[in-house]
Amino acid sequence: MIYDCIIVGGGLAGLQAAIQLGRYNAYRVLVIDSEDGRSGLCRSYRNLLGYPDGVSGEALRQAGRKQLQTYGIAIRRDTVTHAEPLAPNGGFRLKGTEGDAYEARTVLLATGVMDRLPDWPGLRGCLGLSVYVCPDCDGYEIKGRRTLVLGAGDVGARMALTLRTWTDRLVYLRQEEREHPLSPELANQLEAAGIPHRAAPVQSITATDGCTLTGVVLADGTEIPADRAFVAFGGNEVRSQLARQLGARLHENMHVWTDSRTKMTSVAGLWAAGDIAFHSEQAAIAMGDGAQAAIWIHKTLQEARAGKEAQSLS
């Protein structure tokens, strides 16, 4: 079977795109999801319209999957590792880790970004609830609270300086000191902002109920109390490998270039949406990207069908 569109990635961008395409009631669409995306880690988005008390990424994903059933769109669990163009009629062939092959006239890449996170015990249960990674999403949550910045080098320092907008009760505990030393310039900025900092390797996160941060335990056994924390290591994985295989234009930071109106990449028939694209990495923007890409995928498929019908009549 050749699909009209395959969406690689079943996070917020991919599911929103699939919903939009499903509502045209005209296309064979498949979502391929590796089920290891960033949205599955976030326990609570609090900056989305209609969810003042927060909603988890998993809840949004499950709601989206249920909604897709209305339109008869299947979701296949697989990790696509290889992509190539189909010749001579256009389209794409994708291959998964189990050797399955998929073919489609158009493809939307919504493979996202994965944060570089340490494997500290206790961290995962706190993500999105009392430990955060995005100041635009969750800076408000630390307003006036004792907050630790747990990061590496200048990346962590910049995070601490950004968070100064919401609280002056900040401490930056530097990790990976040997690999990522703090530059003198950022050290001076931290001191000018009144943000104490020191090299202090973290051993584990402490929390009540497994999700409400109470502090950290350092490698030397010292306990540092806190109400909230931000993690900032840099080096996040931008999952743009498939775009690169297909020859799509990438930015220097490996995010995929897309047309600002259509969300199509530099390769005809190939779209990208969500955090893999070059924009603010926000849940609301990812969903908007997915819907916008789907609208233009629909337009492209419509034009292709009209062209074939005209050709058959000539």
CATH assignment at residue 202? 3.50.50.60
Same domain for 244 and 218, yes or no, is no
Report whether pLDDT(232) > 80: yes
Q: Is residue 243 part of a domain?
A: yes
204 and 262 inside one domain: no
| Paired tokens of 132 | 């955060």
pLDDT tens-digit series, residues 132-141: 999 999 999 9
Same domain, 46 and 110: yes
**CA dist., res. 124 & res. 251, Å (int):** 30
Q: Categorize the per-residue pLDDT at 89 as very low, low, confident or very high, splitting at 50, 70 and 90.
A: confident
244 and 95 housed in the same domain = yes
pLDDT of residue 278: 80
Of 232, 266, 301, which residue sits at a domain end? 232
Give the pLDDT band of residue 37 (cuts 50, 70, 90). confident
Side-chain-side CA neighbours of 255 within 13 Å: the count stands at 19
Residue 183 scores a pLDDT above 90: yes
Query: Is 125 contained in some domain?
Result: no
For residue 208, give its domain range.
131-232
Q: Are residues 32 and 96 in the same domain?
A: yes
Q: Is the pLDDT of residue 312 over 80?
A: no
Q: What is the pLDDT of residues 144-167, one digit of tens each?
A: 999 999 999 999 999 999 999 999
What is the pLDDT at residue 143?
A: 97
Is residue 112 within 8 A of residue 239, CB to CB? The reply is yes
Helix or strand run (H / E) with residue 161 = helix 153-163
* pLDDT reading at 25 higher than 90: yes
Domain co-membership, 144 together with 217: yes
What's the mean pLDDT in 108-137? 95
Taking residues 55-79, what's their average pLDDT? Answer: 95
Residues 6 and 107 reside in one and the same domain: yes
Classify residue 244: in a domain, yes or no.
Answer: yes
| Predicted pLDDT of residue 308 | 76
Query: Are 108 and 241 part of one and the same domain?
Result: yes
260 plus 296 within the same structural domain = yes
Q: Among residues 211, 232, 253, which one ends one of the domains?
A: 232
Phi, psi (degrees; rounded to nearest 5) at 168: -105, 10
Residue 206 token pair: 């402490």
More confident of the two residues 6 and 36: 6
The verdict on residue 34 lying in a domain is yes
> Is there a domain that residue 266 lies in?
yes
- What torsion do the CA atoms of 30, 104, 34, 259 make, to the nearest 10 degrees? -100
Query: Residue 306 gets which letter from DSSP?
Result: H
Let me know whether 13 and 81 are in one domain: yes
Tokens 């900025």 -> residue: 189
Rounded Cα distance, 19 and 12, in Å = 11
Is a pLDDT exceeding 80 seen at residue 313? Answer: no
- For residue 244, the model assigns a pLDDT of 97
Structural domains of the chain, count? 2
The proportion of the chain whose per-residue pLDDT surpasses 90, expressed as a percent, equals 90
Kindly tell me if the per-residue pLDDT of 221 is higher than 90: yes
Taking only the tens place, the pLDDT of each residue in 270-280 is: 999 999 998 77
pLDDT of residue 106: 98
Q: Does 121 fall in a domain?
A: no
Domain boundary pick from 200, 232, 264: 232
- pTM comes to 0.93
Do both 241 and 98 map to the same domain?
Answer: yes
| Domain identity same for 269 and 302 | yes
Arithmetic mean of pLDDT, 282-309? 93
280 lies in some domain: yes
Q: Is residue 124 part of a domain?
A: no
